Structure 1
């Protein structure tokens, strides 16, 4: 009973992917840009367990308008082969490194939210701290409710707002050693929760030096279960059903 709700499966080698997929019932494979979408699409055609999401990761320079239009056209043409629009969002970490204007990224995010509504697909969001408030504003503006904030972090005001609207979050293996994530688990309803790896992004603590893989989510589930006062089996079932229902798997 294991679904990785957010993984960059196309960033693993062809030799690694089959063994990774043996660990799960399914993975939500998000994309970074057009070439990544194309690779994710091919993997979804080759592996039944790979469920594709197409988008543009915000922690990178913006596309030219021509390339942006080409990406949107490609996504529309492949809408039947995807379970969600994603990953999309705002460049919080990039802005910590360099002075960039967030406004064009907000415009692009709004365009993706409108696309998700047009295609009747959920949207996978990279939006943390103050960026989550902006994302919520746009979701509410366009009345998009099927939103999944991956590896979310934010203050209590935005957390309560997200809970009120029924937005989902997914928990990463760093919950074993990050108090901030443990506190989030405590307040967020498990009925609005999934688990993810965001692989191949590396983790610390007990996972230091290890290749990120879906098996790490067993530890995440045990931590969630302990905080929520459930057995690991109960938590695993709820989290799996949440993911299946959200992504209509």
Structure 2
């Protein structure tokens, strides 16, 4: 069985396990939808009060919001295994079981628990995307659709890379450090607004350290057909999502160092 087929079977098994309790799965999904919906209400209240923020309208900000939350919803669903690596695998010694299986560790962890509840965040992001398309409006040509899919894929790679780094730190700390949430949930909060509204040092952090601007802001400008107020060239948005894949590759390099450091529980 090839890796992709095995991954899909493991994902299907995880989803079937959650659907054994359909009421619970539904309530968790709805709660995710409503929890992220509060953020939408906050953004709407901001623009309803002030009209625009440094020249940005609510429809444009809605596009950035939809892109970032779509990326994170997919990455969060796939990265659960890395998120709980320390408590569910390293501390208990169950990581040894993964090492004995003739399949990639990353594949096993990504398929460990694909959380169905993240569908609530994804649906809410897609609803905001529809709103953005009508409010701006956005001309969805084959090129812009392809760019949107490309930037979402790069964003999923970026957020998954952050979760991989969080899991890597657990080889030394056992407990997953909460500092990773600064770049996951904090990154989602920052990425749902245009980078142009932030201070220079913060823009540089989200461009060159954690390249969130590369997977959301610059592609979003290209989709909107809007020039960057900061002066970046228009073609940048068409290639910048590659930074997300580069970040994921670097994260897995660090991951391999962590795996070599692992010495089991000794029990």
Same fold (TM over 0.5): no
Task: Kindly indicate which of the two structures has a greater share of residues assigned to helix.
Answer: 2
Q: Report the TM-score when normalising by structure 1.
A: 0.25
Greater C-alpha Rg: 2
